[in-house]
Amino acid sequence: MMYRAPPSDGVTGKKKGLLSQAVSRARLFLKAPLVFTGVLLYSALAFIPFLGRWIVNRVVSNLLPKVMGQTDKLTRSIRAELLKTISGKVLDFGAGSGIYMKYCFPPYTKTATEVTKYVALEPNRRLHSHIQKTFDDIRENKAVLVGDADGRTAPDAAVDNKQWNDHVDISNKANDVLEIAGEFLSDLKVRLHAQPTFDWIILGNVLCEVPDPPSILRDLDSLLKPGGFVFFSEHVGYRPANSWRRWRQNLVAPWWRRVSDGCQCNRDTMHTISRAVPNWAVHSFEFDSCGVMPWNALFQIGLAKKIA
């Protein structure tokens, strides 16, 4: 039996829609003072010498999975399309909460071959549990071994990188698919003897944070096999450089960098890629209004192929 809904009253529906909008705006108006006060308080704490970075690290570690999840909802279709043929050995550089992992395994992947090794490189140990949970949700019965860099939290990279220059080597565990490594890229490069190891590299909202993007890109290139692919999803600076949106980014950049644990919202990432690794053939798509904040809303999402 087919159930048919009664004919709707267009006028009533319109009134309900207007009422719903009014309620939403009223809630936003009431929340605004609390949000503003919270931002001011958090900003003040973030700039406290020494203690501020400790606070920011913990706040960002807890908020990052939610923030990345919101952006993922807006770009899910393009990410799934670009990663549907991923296979072999994968390096997720700056894996964060592991938001891209689900695209690397069925049902998202469309190839007969599968990802045989997934290295999630993430110095912030507080995010390792999120990566682990994501993997467990995808492949519940697979063996997983986690290297957590002795349980330390990520220090300020500009102050003391050496604290994180160790890892747990699980290369002798042939049956493990996932490796969560708490080390910097330079140390991974040494461990792998700078040999082309990976078929795919994932860059997801990470080039905005590293202190030297050209050097990082060249190191990544040394670990990528010829013919290998790089997936990137990065928020970038608005163009042209004299636009009001870019001016807004430049204005908030110093504050945002501190309260977001290092994110720089106004970088010309695509220009940096083309200059640092000219042997990458790059194809990208531009998406606006994908970020949580207006100053990091412009995204470049695409693929690069190593041609030499």
pLDDT in tens, 66-100: 777 778 888 888 999 999 999 999 999 999 889 99
Res. 143: pLDDT tops 70: no
- Cα separation, 42 vs 56, whole angstroms: 9
Percent of the chain with pLDDT over 70: 76
Res. 179: pLDDT tops 90: yes
Confidence of residue 288 (pLDDT cuts 50, 70, 90): confident
Can you give the C-alpha Rg of the chain in angstroms? Answer: 22
- Alpha carbon distances (Å) from 84 to 25, 104, 140, 285: 40, 7, 21, 17
Q: Which of 19-28, 63-72, 221-230, 245-254 has the lowest mean pLDDT?
A: 19-28
Buried b (16+ CB within 10 A) or exposed e, 220-245: bbebbbeebbbbbbbbbbbeeeeeeb
Res. 145: pLDDT tops 70: no
Confidence of residue 159 (pLDDT cuts 50, 70, 90): very low
- Cα separation, 231 vs 242, whole angstroms: 29
**Domain architecture of the chain: domains with CATH:** 62-306 (3.40.50.150)
Confidence of residue 139 (pLDDT cuts 50, 70, 90): confident
Measured in degrees and rounded to the nearest 5, phi and psi for residue 181 equal: -115, 130
Res. 142: pLDDT tops 60: no
pLDDT tens column, 186-231: 899 999 988 999 999 999 999 999 999 999 999 999 999 999 999 9
**235's tokens:** 């928020």
Give the chain's mean pLDDT: 79
